[in-house]
Amino acid sequence: MSRDLASLTGVAGRYAAALFGLAQEAGALEVVEADLAALGVAIAGSDDLRGFLRSPVYGRDDQKNAIAALAKKASFNELTSNFVALVAQNRRLFALEDMTSAFAVLAAQHRGEVSAEVVSAAALDADQAKALRHEIEAMVGKAVKLETRVDPDLLGGLVVKIGSQMIDASLKTKLNRLKTVMKEA
């Protein structure tokens, strides 16, 4: 939750909140959310795009033209296209990735969803992820958007983060605790 709240502050939070309000008014929340999710994935997956967005070297017109071409190529909704054009016009592309994250947080809150991140030593199959999501939903009493990733250094078990709460049931942590207890003895 603290990460969620942090993403709603500053420039990114203000822009995301404004877009959220407009998308809600236009009845286009789902479409805009999907566009921004795709944009966020593109930014996260491309060092070149991330560098372009954060670089002060490019002029306003270059940034506007590039972001307009990206929006057209991605077939963004008109509202999303206008939004990214405004961000470029206002020279705020450096915060675009954070804006996409902040919008996702607002949309999840609107749906009454809670985000949970699960780190496991091996990839979870669909049944395991579904069972884990149901357990977390029963624990928090809300719908859960589950994000999973793999960290082989855990050796086994899981680390679950729900907002600011963390449940570390990894073998690595258990072995470290045992090591500490053995040193004390």
Same domain assignment for residues 94 and 119: no
pLDDT at 2 over 70: no
Pick the last residue of a domain from 109, 134, 162. 109
- The whole-number pLDDT of residue 7 equals 57
Q: 23 and 82: one domain?
A: yes
CATH number, residue 137: 3.40.30
Tally of domains within the chain = 2
Strands of the sheet with 143-150, listed across from one edge:
143-150, 113-120, 157-162, 165-170
Residues 68 and 12 in one domain: yes
Pairwise CA distance, residues 36 & 162, whole Å: 23
* Same-domain pairing of 171 and 103: no
As to burial, measured by CB atoms within 10 angstroms (0-12 exposed, 13-18 middle, 19+ buried), residue 35 is buried
Do residues 40 and 54 both lie within one domain?
yes
- Among the candidates 94, 109, 124, a domain finishes at 109
Residues 11 and 86 in one domain: yes
Percent of the chain predicted with pLDDT > 70? 95
Upper half-sphere CA count for residue 158 (Cβ side, 13 Å): 17
pLDDT of residue 88: 95
Kindly report, residue by residue over 48-99, the tens digit of the pLDDT: 999 999 998 999 999 999 999 999 999 999 999 999 999 999 999 999 999 9
Q: Which of 77, 109, 141 is the last residue of a domain?
A: 109
Looking at the structure, do residues 103 and 128 belong to the same domain, yes or no?
Answer: no
Asked if 105 and 122 sit in the same domain, the reply is: no
Domain span at residue 33 reads 2-109
Kindly state whether residues 9 and 68 are assigned to the same domain. Answer: yes
Residue 64 is predicted with a pLDDT of: 93
Range of weakest confidence among 4-18, 125-139, 140-154: 4-18
Tens digit of each residue's pLDDT (9 = 90 or more) over 86-145: 999 999 999 999 999 999 989 988 988 888 899 998 899 999 999 999 998 898 888 888
Judgement on whether residues 158 and 96 belong to the same structural domain of the protein: no
Q: In whole numbers, what is the pLDDT of the chain averaged over residues?
A: 89
Same domain, 49 and 119: no
